Structure 1
Amino acid sequence: MAGRREKYGQSIRGSRIAGAIAIGVLLGCVFAFLYPNGFFSPDPRSQSRPVSKSNLQVDSPNCESTEGVNMMKSENRKLSEKNAELQKQVRELNQKLQAAQQGNGRTQEQLVVSSQPQKAGPFGTVKSLRTNPPVMPDESVNPRLAKLLAEIAVGKEVIVALANSNVKSMLEVWFNSIKKVGIPNYLVVALDDTIVEFCKENDVPVYKRDPDENVDFIGKSGGNHAVSGLKFRILREFLQLGYGVLLSDVDIVYLQNPFDHLYRDSDVESMSDGHNNMTAYGYNDVFDEPSMGWARYAHTMRIWVYNSGFFYIRPTIPSIELLDRVADRLTTQPNSWDQAVFNEELAFPSHPGYVGLYASRRTMDIYLFMNSKVLFKTVRKDANLKKLKPVIVHVNYHPDKFPRMKAVVEYYVNGKQDALDAFPDGSE
């Protein structure tokens, strides 16, 4: 009995399994027919959309909607406009930031170093750079002047003097002394038409600036100080064109070629108003204040001013900044003396509320580039110094300029030994 029940149960279980398999196969066939792409198709639309020729044409990339393309172009244009507006705002912010930084006296200046970092050498062998690199010439600043300078300059250097009709007689002594020495690279910047014609008559290189109402008024009617102040604005174009300029007043007699005696190791190389080695090259001056007791003595370093009527200036960024600073101060402070402003900008260091000018400078030899105080107070009375032949003599200390200039020519050029004797040391 037990054996029969066991065989019967096994037959029932086998029938159930067979039936389940049959049902599964049937259901699989039904689902395969109804859902040929399966339950989890990546494109649900394909489950309910029959494949047809028209549907294939809609999916083709060659038949994109014109409206869709136009919408994309419109969006792209809007994005471009927004980008341009953002760039404009960034530029404006950068400009405002730069202006704010320039106005801040504590702004740290960027130092551009042309060489790689170097190790310091042994004690006593270290030498720093003193010569700033020249600017890149820009002929678009003044094509007419650029063409003229290319014809007359030697080694990208030229002597420049400003003159109007008030100094015509001194100008003649000036350019005749230059011709006598044989200096070819010099130019007169004429401030009125009379000087233009005068220079042309005497075969002197001359240049007259394009009309400028303010410059023309000062140039035609101004005195020595007013005309002297113009040179800082006018010289800027020469430097921008890449030329080194030896700026010269017209109360100067040339006895040698000054370009043979320049060092060219500084932004500005100027003659001094000093009358001996101490005053010209610097000295320790002691200030005494007795009320301070033990600390009554204060040491100061002094140097007599550079003469703004005769200096060599290289075409560098600090040099151009110097001209801009002086010209600006002379415009905004009309009662200022150009020579005082020139020296203040060169000498005053950076301090709270003020950023100084980082320009290198050199003082010329006072016996080669001689002022009239040195000549008439010292040199003419010294047997040894009288044997020296200076490069130039600048009659800057005396108001009777024209007769003293002629006397200098008589003494040094024509050899008249007593030509200087009749004049007093000062302006008595």
Structure 2
Amino acid sequence: MAGRRDRIQQHRGYRITIAIVVGILIGCVCAFVFPNGFFNSGSSLLVNERLSKSNSKVGLASCESSERVKMLKSEFSVVSVKNAELKKQVKELTEKVRLAEQETENARNQVLVLGSQIKAGPFGTVKSLRTNPTVVPDESVNPRLAKLLEKVAVSKEIIVVLANSNVKPMLEVQITSVKRVGIQNYLIVALDDSIVDFCKSKEVAYYKRDPDKAVDMVGKSGGNHAVSRLKFRVLREFLQLGYGVLLSDVDIVFLQNPFGHLYRDSDVESMSDGHDNNTAYGFNHVFDDPSMGWSRSAHTMRIWVFNSGFFYLRPTLPSIDLLDRVADTISKTGEWDQAVFNEQLFYPSHPGYTGLHASKRVMDMYEFMNSKVLFKTVRKNEELKKLKPVIVHLNYHPDKLERMQAVVEFYVDGKQDALDSFPDGSF
């Protein structure tokens, strides 16, 4: 029995071994006949079919997306235009609100200054108020200019000069005089690129405004009067930023630092075109009308005009109001800026017109000297020749450069006959 069992187990082992060998042979034959597997071709067809369907769907989606994108772009363009218009309107409204708030704040300050009830003092002790409060500085008006003024201004004050290439020789004389005196807070508003390069070469602070058609036109071809008219628009931003501005034309020689000679008690402090005490500071003029008989003599008050080429403005509402009025009138009428400047300063309120409520001061005519005073009076008087003015303004004469150079020779170089060769006037 045991032998029989052994033979059966041995026989089973052979059968298993033969089955394994046959399986291996079949596997080798299949691997040779079907190298890519039994289901590869079918799978490839299935995959390709799915990819084809997918691509067709993507193509349709792509076309739909393209049309959608075009439509969205068109809608976005329309919305952008409307948004820009709304932004502009919001900006304008914001500016109006800001100005209204500023006016309200300044009115509140005025009330604080003027509104408190006080008793009048004894005879001879009462003094009226004439110094208006300054505006609240608003750097949002011009951030770039604000940063520049922080570097250049001294005690929140600045000398401002407008210049283009037409006045370069005179500007060079002025810059030299400014450096000689040691004035630091001096800024040139460059109206063209040539003046920018000139300022760089002279190491002088300058400011080039953002593109502006009116400014650009003056910068390229404007003469003295055109540049002079422009300054009333340019100075507004300086005052809004809270800076006191000393405006100077280029035909001026600086012999001392002017900031040590200002009173700063008025909105406007200006040099005069007057040539003596009466014309510079005011006088009573009698107008004679014989047809009136007993009342033939009519008394009038007279003063020669403030010079619009050299004046100091405190940053107050009346000062800004003055600039706005002058700029607006000039733009409409084209009148001479100095005439308009004085009309706005001195015309009182009357029916149909509200005058400018600005306080005024006339500068000392021998310190802030015009060229008529110099050539008609000072150079012929031995005592007056000893005085050293703060500035000399060659406003009365067309041969400005030659007379500016002579002023330097006389007051700086000590050449006593430097002024003698020039006539009193211009012929």
Residue matched to 1:363: 362
Aligned-pair CA distance for 1:114:
1.9
2:387 match: 388
Task: Report the alpha carbon displacement of residue 111 of structure 1 after superposing the two structures with TM.
Answer: 9.7
SS in 1 for 2:419: coil
Partners of 2:368 and 2:391 within 8 A in 1: yes
Shift of 1:160: 0.4
Q: CA separation in 1, counterparts of 2:360 and 2:178?
A: 26
Q: Counterparts of 1:285 and 1:127 in 2: how far apart (Å)?
A: 27
- Whether 2:329 is the aligned partner of 1:341: answer no
Going from structure 1 to structure 2, the CA distance change for 1:184 and 1:110 (only over 3 Å counts) comes to closer
- Cα deviation, 1:182-228, whole Å, max 9, x if unaligned, reads 00000000000000000001101010000001221123211111110
How far apart, CA to CA, are the structure 2 residues paired with 1:147 and 1:214?
Answer: 24
Aligned partner of 2:112 in structure 1 is 114
How many angstroms apart in 2 are the aligned matches of 1:189 and 1:152? 13
2:309 corresponds to 1:309: yes
SS in 1 for 2:111: coil
AA partner of residue 370 (structure 1): M
Q: Quote the Cα distance in structure 1 between the aligned partners of 2:148 and 2:109.
A: 35
Counterpart Cα distance in 1 of 2:325 and 2:191: 22
Looking at structure 2, the residues matched to 157 and 200 of structure 1 have their Cα atoms a distance apart, in angstroms, of: 22
2:219, 2:246 → 1: CA distance?
20
Task: Kindly provide the amino acid, as one letter, of the partner of residue 420 in structure 1.
Answer: L
C-alpha distance in 2 between matches for 1:158 and 1:375:
26
Corresponding residue of 1:374: 373
Residue 285 of structure 1 aligns to a residue in which SS? strand
1:410-425 aligned at under 5 Å gives the runs 410-425=409-424
Structure 1 counterpart SS, 2:341: helix
**Paired amino acid for 1:255:** L
Distance in 2 of aligned mates of 1:110 and 1:245: 24
Q: What does the per-residue CA deviation read over 1:238-272, in whole Å, with 9 as the maximum and x for residues that have no partner?
A: 00000000000000000000000000000000000
User: In structure 2, the residue corresponding to 1:114 is in which secondary structure?
Assistant: helix
State the match for 2:146 in structure 1: 146
- Written as runs of structure 1 = structure 2, the 5 A alignment for 1:20-419 is 112-115=110-113, 116-334=116-334, 336-419=335-418
SS of aligned partner of 1:325: helix
* Percent pairwise identity: 75
> 1 CA distance for matches of 2:383 and 2:130?
34
Question: Closer, same or farther in 2 for the Cα pair 1:287/1:110, shift >3 Å?
Answer: farther
Aligned to 1:298, the other structure's residue is in SS state strand
CA distance in structure 2 between the partners assigned to 1:312 and 1:393 by the alignment: 16
Would you say the 8 A contact 2:253–2:391 is kept in 1?
yes
Tell me the matched-pair count: 322
The Cα of 1:386 is off from its aligned counterpart by: 0.2
Shift of 1:113: 2.5
Partners of 1:319 and 1:268 lie apart in 2 by: 7
Structure-1-length-normalised TM-score: 0.74
Name the aligned partner's letter for residue 221 of structure 2. Answer: S
Show CA shifts across 1:115-134 (max 9, x none): 42101011110011110000
- Opposite residue 158 of structure 1, the aligned amino acid is I
Change (3 A) 1:111 1:184: closer
Distance 2:403 2:294 in 1: 50
Contact 2:110-2:132 within 8 A present in 1 as well: no
CA RMSD of aligned residues (A): 1.6
Secondary structure of the residue aligned to 1:389 is: coil
Residues 167 and 250 in structure 2, CA contact (< 8 A), matched pair in contact too: yes
AA in 2 matched with 1:394: H
**Which one has a larger percent helix, Structure 1 or Structure 2?**
2
In structure 1, what is the Cα distance between the partners aligned to 2:424 and 2:399? 12
Q: Which residue does 1:6 correspond to in 2?
A: none
Amino acid at match of 2:354: V
Is contact 2:110-2:133 (8 Å) kept? no
Amino acid at match of 1:305: V
The alpha carbon displacement at 1:368 in A equals 0.2
SS of the counterpart of 1:235? helix
CA deviation vs aligned residue, 1:334-361 (integer Å, no higher than 9, x gap): 2x00000000000000000000000000
Q: What's the TM-score, normalizing by structure 2?
A: 0.74
CA offset digits 1:106-155 (Å, max 9, x no partner) = xxx99932242101011110011110000000000000000000001000
| CA distance in 2: counterparts of 1:219 and 1:192, whole angstroms | 5
Name the SS for the 2:136 alignment partner. coil
Q: Secondary structure at the match of 1:362?
A: strand
> 1: distance between equivalents of 2:272 and 2:139?
33
What residue ranges of structure 1 are gaps of 5+ in the alignment? 1-91, 100-108
Q: Which residue of the partner structure matches residue 33 of structure 1?
A: none
